[in-house]
Amino acid sequence: MAHIPFPQFITRPVKLHCQLKRCFSRITRKRENISTEKIYKDLITGKRSALASAITLIESTKKDHQEESNKILSWTLEHLKTKNQANPTFRIGLTGAPGAGKSTLIETFGKRLTSEGHKVAVLAVDPSSAKTGGSLLGDRTRMIKLAHDPNAYIRPSPASGTLGGVAKKTNEAIILCEGAGYDIILVETVGIGQSEFAVSNMVDMFVLILPPGSGDELQGIKKGIVEMADLVLVNKADGELLSAARRVQGEYTSALKLLHRPSSIWKPKVYAVSSLHDEGFDKVWWKMQSYKDIMISNNNFFINRKKQYQSWMWNYIEDNIMLDFRSNPNIKKNIVHFENLVNHELMTPSVAAQKLLKIFSNEYVK
């Protein structure tokens, strides 16, 4: 019987599949062969791929990845100690309600900074779905010009339900970006929430971004958030919204005089800016630099950094205690039982919580 060859339209896909499989296998082996030391050395020379790999490691929940990321972070901190402290990096947190134009403002501001020779890293935190944990991670598409700037690095990360509008590993990501040579770190948060204090505990300057023409602005923004702001920017101050922006600027200038200041040596200012037309940012950047110089000259800058590291430590402890609590075998056995008691009003939530805590600490005996 004569041999009948397979048609090409059948054999070609099979060959292509085998080639792709070998290709992915080589990529996987190559990734596995990249050592922690290699990532660190490439990181401090400014290689973006190494920075991306390092941040991916710190965001991973795998135990071996956490051990590797801890090594890279320790080496990076040691490396940063040797750098000139007379001109430290500048960490700026930016927050605002949805629709305030945070991403557009950051792109315009970031492009201005890179044009002046600065290296800018943007840590943009996207909201995660409460049901699926998914995140849009769309900041790179909203900052196209800045994303293609060789002196800028944008890293979107999911908030994953973390309070304060920041990702769990934002502190670590800041350190890695600084180790990679980025001297200005912009942290864009999810929005305005009750725990936005988390942002101010990891940046040198806290900036509130407001939209014009949104009704009663002073009622719409929580007082505590305004009191934390070192600078307030009214965005979209152009075209038909210009008069509304100036009105909001005047309202907040008056309001800030009555509110508690975040620092006794600094008076927060309110500026109207147009991200669309790149207007007002000269004055804003000058004011930001003035803030940094004043804080450094009074030694508040480095004192605040030390407080931030302490806050970072306690936040890490709290997060990991909750992880240990939920993964504890005895808690897993009893959690549904106590939840049912609470649901049927047979036990108060506080008593149920106390009993679960005693189970966790092996003190509770039925």
pLDDT tens for each residue of 36-56: 999 999 999 999 999 999 999
Q: Are residues 51 and 132 in the same domain?
A: no
Residue 124 lies in a domain: yes
Whether the CA torsion 140, 144, 145, 150 is positive or negative: it is positive
Q: Rounded to an integer, what is the distance from CA 99 to the centroid of its chain?
A: 19
| Residues 104 and 46 placed together within one structural domain of the fold | no
For 149-206, the pLDDT digits (tens) are 999 999 987 655 444 444 568 889 999 999 999 999 999 886 655 446 677 788 999 9
CATH of the domain at 65: 1.20.5.170
Residue 359 pLDDT > 60:
yes
Give the whole-angstrom CA distance, residue 148 versus residue 328.
Answer: 46
- pLDDT class of 30 with cuts at 50, 70, 90: very low
The CB-side HSE value for 120 (13 A sphere, CA atoms) comes to 26
Residues 134 and 245 in one domain: yes
| Structural domain harbouring 331 | 310-360
Tally the domains of the chain. Answer: 3
Give the pLDDT of residue 315. Answer: 81
* Residue 263 binned pLDDT confidence (cut-offs 50, 70, 90): confident
Q: Which helix (H) or strand (E) holds 327?
A: helix 300-327
Verify that 88 and 61 share a domain, yes or no: no
Highest mean pLDDT among 71-80, 83-92, 210-219: 71-80
* Single-letter code of the amino acid located at 299: N
pTM for the full predicted model: 0.80
Q: Is residue 6 part of a domain?
A: no
Mapped onto helix, strand or coil, the DSSP state of residue 283 is: helix
Q: What CATH number is given to the structural domain containing 287? A: 3.40.50.300
Q: Is residue 5 part of a domain?
A: no
Do 207 and 325 fall within a single domain? no
- Clarify whether residues 130 and 154 are in a common domain: yes
Residues 167 and 284 in one domain: yes
Please check whether residues 210 and 73 belong to one and the same domain: no
